[in-house]
Chain A
Amino acid sequence: MSDILPLAASRVQQRRTVWAPRLRPLPLGKGFLPWIAPLTILLIWELFARLGGLSPNILPAPTKVAATAVKLIENGQLLPDLAISLMRALAGFVIGGSIGFTLGIAVGFSRLAEALLDRTIQMVRAIPFLAVLPLVIVWLGIGEGAKIFLVALGVTFPIYINTVLGIRQVDPKLLELGRVTGLSDWKLIRCIVLPGALPSILTGVRYALATAWLALVVAETIAASSGIGFLAMDAREFLRTDVIVLAIVIYAGIGVVADSIARFLERRLLAWHANYAPGARS
């Protein structure tokens, strides 16, 4: 597997070696400290906007954005668009994830499948997936299909690569142990290969979540008639910077939520792993 994505490999590597210097723990209120800088920036931003140093056409005050959010929720515009965006992300993620995982399992377990598929998959992967957007619009128009396709395309490869990598990285000594213990092939896969590959697969999931989101933003911004991206592009025509900023904030927020879900999964499923155990940094 020499042509496996080096990025994926290095991410896994990072996970396995913890050599953080031992710093003195902060005495009090350390939960609050990271918030000081962003809150200060927000405050300065707000002050500038209020005092007229910042034109609303360039950047609206944070409070204005919040007010716009409330208004858009109240008049029923925001939530349906949000729901549509989330559905696209979810559908694309499930489709792309299933394809990537299935291919990854096949190639991970079978040298034949590797010989048949891996080169082709690596070739397709070399295309930046956003570059196919114009073609996708020609094929599928600006309907749901195009967005879901693009998200799925972005998700497939990180999942595929990390699944293959995870399976290939399973310690052969543990497989040997499984064999002398008399495990059937199926139990060998279920009890040893898949759990051993899981840290890598979850790294792929986390990476794929970020890609899915990126794909969605691009697709919705360029070709859509609904969704958060459409909301922002629509607002652009009327110079509604408050709505545009709101859309950006929502994208960021959902990205954070998605990442938290991935971290939560890692903590739950990898409780056995020293790097994910309670108290370890993640």
Chain B
Amino acid sequence: MTAVTVEHLTRRYGDRVILRGLNLHIARGEFVALLGESGCGKTTLLRAIAGLDRVDGGRIIGSGRPAVVFQEHRLLPWYTVWRNVALGLPEADGKRLAEIALGEVGLGDRQEEWPRNLSGGQAQRVALARALVQEPHLLLLDEPFASLDALTRIRMHALVKQLVARHQPGVLLVTHDVDEAIALANRALIMRDGRIVAEYTVSPGANARRSHPDAVSLREVLLDQLGVPADAVAA
């Protein structure tokens, strides 16, 4: 089942072409990581799919509204944790569904907390609960772990993997982090100059262990694609 199909997507800012006839297909249950240098258009693509930016050409075909987790948690400071999660839900079962979603991200006991009392990792988990409670067919992750410390990031990876396996949305993860892409994705895409220029399958072995041979070789290839050759990493 399709989570989203993007056909010939074009986006310009003045003279600059950000997206050049980009094509992309993500199935439900599939985890796709989108890698690329800053300014290659990956965030523009994600925002276009989210419906936050208009496009100049092409089509985005999806079913229902995608959910988005941004780099910042974007919790409303004037709502308690559960109200933030229940934001887009119908009033009647908002509280109940929010409770379940918060339980899933391990914050069942922080429902009545103000967002300002949460740590960065906790706030991002609430943001994840807020996205998943919508039961989206497509989950868009815009560098959601970039501002977390390294240990929290690793824990978040495990949590996201587990939740995606349970809810089976299609996922598009925009990231700079090659290791993150290898740990989470089934497929890693390289974007350059507004196009997807390469595509790699990530084996389950590579997902599971950093030191797996598949992971090691894929890391080298991806870094090379991003302009960081292996000998530079070694040095």
Measuring CB to CB, which residues of chain A are less than 8 angstroms from any residue of chain B? 173-174, 176-183, 191-192, 195-196, 198, 270-274, 277
Q: Is residue B233 within 8 Å, beta carbon to beta carbon, of the partner chain?
A: no
Please name all residues of chain B whose beta carbon is closer than 8 Å to the beta carbon of A191 when the two chains form the complex. 76, 79, 87
Residue contact B67 to A180, C-beta cutoff 8 Å:
yes
Q: Is residue B50 within 8 Å, beta carbon to beta carbon, of the partner chain?
A: yes
Residue contact A174 to B74, C-beta cutoff 8 Å:
yes
Residue contact A272 to B78, C-beta cutoff 8 Å:
yes
Hey, what's the 0/1 contact readout for B76-104 against A, CB within 8 Å counting as 1? Answer: 11110000000110000000000000000
Closest 8 CB pairs of A and B: A181-B88, A195-B78, A177-B74, A272-B78, A180-B68, A272-B114, A182-B88, A182-B65
Q: Is residue B52 within 8 Å, beta carbon to beta carbon, of the partner chain?
A: yes
- In the complex, the chain B residue whose C-beta lies closest to that of A171 is B74
Hey, what's the 0/1 contact readout for B127-158 against A, CB within 8 Å counting as 1? Answer: 00010001000000000000000000000000
Q: How far is the CA of A182 from the CA of B88 in the complex (A)?
A: 6
Residue from B65, B76, B79, B114 in contact with A180 in the complex, judged by beta carbons closer than 8 Å: B65
- In the complex, the chain B residue whose C-beta lies closest to that of A176 is B52
Chain B interface size band reads 20 to 34
Residue contact A173 to B70, C-beta cutoff 8 Å:
yes
Chain B binding site: helix, strand, loop or mixed by DSSP? loop
Residue contact B78 to A196, C-beta cutoff 8 Å:
yes
Please name all residues of chain A whose beta carbon is closer than 8 Å to the beta carbon of B70 when the two chains form the complex. 173, 177
Please name all residues of chain A whose beta carbon is closer than 8 Å to the beta carbon of B68 when the two chains form the complex. 177, 180
- In the complex, the chain B residue whose C-beta lies closest to that of A198 is B78
Please name all residues of chain B whose beta carbon is closer than 8 Å to the beta carbon of A270 when the two chains form the complex. 78
Residue from A179, A182, A192 in contact with B76 in the complex, judged by beta carbons closer than 8 Å: A192
Measuring CB to CB, which residues of chain B are less than 8 angstroms from any residue of chain A? 50-52, 65-68, 70, 72, 74, 76-79, 87-88, 114-116, 130, 134
| Given A181-B88, A182-B134: 7 more A-B contacts, CB < 8 Å | A173-B74, A176-B74, A181-B134, A183-B87, A192-B76, A195-B79, A274-B116
Q: How far is the CA of A181 from the CA of B74 in the complex (A)?
A: 12
Please name all residues of chain B whose beta carbon is closer than 8 Å to the beta carbon of A180 when the two chains form the complex. 50-52, 65-68
- In the complex, the chain A residue whose C-beta lies closest to that of B140 is A180
Residue contact B87 to A272, C-beta cutoff 8 Å:
no
- In the complex, the chain A residue whose C-beta lies closest to that of B88 is A181
- In the complex, the chain B residue whose C-beta lies closest to that of A273 is B77
Residue contact A195 to B130, C-beta cutoff 8 Å:
no
- A128: shortest Cβ distance to chain B, in Å? 36
- In the complex, the chain B residue whose C-beta lies closest to that of A180 is B68
Residue from A181, A198, A274 in contact with B87 in the complex, judged by beta carbons closer than 8 Å: A181
Q: How far is the CA of A2 from the CA of B76 in the complex (A)?
A: 27
Q: How far is the CA of A182 from the CA of B65 in the complex (A)?
A: 8
Q: List, sorted by A's number, 15 A–B pairs whose CB atoms are closer than 8 Å.
A: A173-B72, A176-B52, A176-B74, A177-B70, A177-B74, A178-B87, A179-B52, A180-B68, A181-B67, A181-B130, A182-B134, A191-B79, A191-B87, A272-B114, A273-B77
Please name all residues of chain A whose beta carbon is closer than 8 Å to the beta carbon of B78 when the two chains form the complex. 195-196, 198, 270, 272-273
Please name all residues of chain A whose beta carbon is closer than 8 Å to the beta carbon of B50 when the two chains form the complex. 180
- In the complex, the chain B residue whose C-beta lies closest to that of A269 is B78
- A172: shortest Cβ distance to chain B, in Å? 11
Please name all residues of chain B whose beta carbon is closer than 8 Å to the beta carbon of A182 when the two chains form the complex. 65, 88, 134
